[in-house]
Structure 1
Amino acid sequence: MNAKADYQHEPADGGALRFTGSLSLATLGDLPERLDREDAPVRRLDLSGVDRIDTVGAWLVQRFAARNDATIEGLNDDQRNLIDKVIEADQPVAMRPKPIGSFWRVAGEVGDAVITAFKTLYGLLGFMGATVLALLAVIRHPRRFRFNAVVHEFETVGVTALGIVGLMSFLIGIVIAQQGAVQLRQFGAEIFTINLVGRLTLRELGVLMTAIMVAGRSGSAFAAQLGTMKLTEEIDAMRVIGVSPMEVLVLPRALAAVTLMPLLGFYSSLIAIIGGGFLAAVSLGIPPVTFVSRIREVVPITDLYVGLIKAPVFGAIIAIAGCFQGMQVKSDAEQVGQRTTSAVVQAIFLVIVLDAFFAVFFTWIGWD
């Protein structure tokens, strides 16, 4: 049977406590309370007289030694290993924070979202500036212009998008004409459906819906491509060999989007007008010749200018947002999906905000 744990205080021996017996849970007795009441100075704990020690006893000795800044002596290898494990495990426990009310929790989340939005906007503006600097560098050194890369992006952004953009625009033209005709029929003014289709598609929806479609197709592709290259360290390798990723990867995509967005927007507007003319001929009995003649009369050329001015700005925003989010990928493949989603959402949000700004601006200068 193991002897009960005990200790003797020997102040003459440099303030030492000599433990005896078994320092185990079953034999500790009132030893913890006695140690808590010990107020004499102690500099050494001698465990050479201890028969057995378990985890509880080791924790008790280690806690007392830490409180009095004392050293532990007289340990064999097994006891020393146990004391070391206890010291390693004796760390502060993270306490669960006090729950906060729903109002403050929501307010905190809103504040975090606002801060994240401003940081993202700041980074996007910096990335836009870096893109402009890369363009200026290419203008100063034309040999560095990647013509083949730009042509390849022309196909990605423009040629392969013709089918889906055309189908979407044709259906939107039909919907605008049908809904407009239903409402205008109440006043006997179905003929003004042509005005609605012509002005709305050329001025707003043609370019706006094309920008949203390009953001979903090309903006997400830019983010995924550059994000994958970041994960595989291809972009870092470019920097090591002295090649600028902004000139090689970002600039061709931005130039392709800026160049092709006006063409895609104009193409989308024409197809939407054709869709509206198709419904006008089938549902309203308006011949195509009359429809085209009416379009020429009621749609001012400024509506076309408005669409063509907005389109390259939308293209630049889509390309820069996609490339910026792709460049932010850092750790794992999951971030590629997250950044791709962020690129699409960010591009569409900025396109709609800029479209509202353009609407106010063109009305202010008299192009309404």
Structure 2
Amino acid sequence: MKKFINVPDSLLEDSLKGFAKAHADIVELNLQPHFIKRLQPAKPGKVVLISGGGSGHEPLHSGFVGLGMLDAVCPGQIFTSPTPDQMLAAAQAVDQGAGVLFIVKNYAGDVMNFEIAAEMFEAPNATVLVNDDVSLPKTHSIGRRGVAGTLIVEKMVGAAAEAGADLAACKALGDRVNEATASIGVALTSCTVPALGKPTFELGENEMEMGVGIHGERGRETVPLQSASEIVEQLAHAIDEELNPQPGQSVLLHVNGFGGTPLIELHLLYQLAAQHWEKRGLKIARSLVGNFTTSLDMAGASLTLTMLDEELIRLWDAPVNTAALRWGC
């Protein structure tokens, strides 16, 4: 294992300190317990948004703290849920009297710990559960995972909260965006968790893993390596089966890298995916390409499609000022 690291046990805290120092104009780090919050607090009466999860997915979630998105995030150890005391402390630190909306990816540890924190927090709160990963069936025992679509939920709900939407409206919007979003990913390699020191699974030179999550776990099947065009067609077909977009529909197309895939390849995937949906009469109204919801150093990518209307386009376009997304400010 070759990584820029001192010891695995100190990696998270050292990285968080570096992140907070690099973006000291936007965020502030609390060390005990760990959470990151907006440097400039939200205005009184604003619904505040809190998310989080295991580290290793950067810039999700810390990179999305700031104006127009999240008010605080709770980072756990690599691929490990944060604890309820982190979530409670973050909620108490940023609450502005209008309630707290927790945005939670559908993983068992995250769901359980955010539920505990919500019960402990003695103020109005609600939860949006993100489960956009269509590589798993809806009937899966623990439900579908929350993956790259989480960013889209956080951006749109963050814009609504910044504009003054109340807690019920933010919750309803988050659920609506989640329902309008589908994602699926493919990996060419596994990732290496520093504490483990070796890849979490092995793939042959001519193999790829279809339907992976974002925690270094295997996908739904190991298949022969294919061309980029063939890969995109498989991923897009799974999304089409889920969303059934009709000609004339406006969509947001997000091509997300898992950390080890260069932009030259991600933009190729975007070109192929855009061609797929434009041939079917869809309008690619908005786009996002890059490494945003990663799995450490995994080589791979995911496609995310969100069906848009005029309100969602306006919310996506609204000003945002975070470490990883910044426009309109």
TM-score by length of 2: 0.22
Q: Which has the higher helix share?
A: 1
Q: Which has the higher strand share?
A: 2
TM-score by length of 1: 0.20
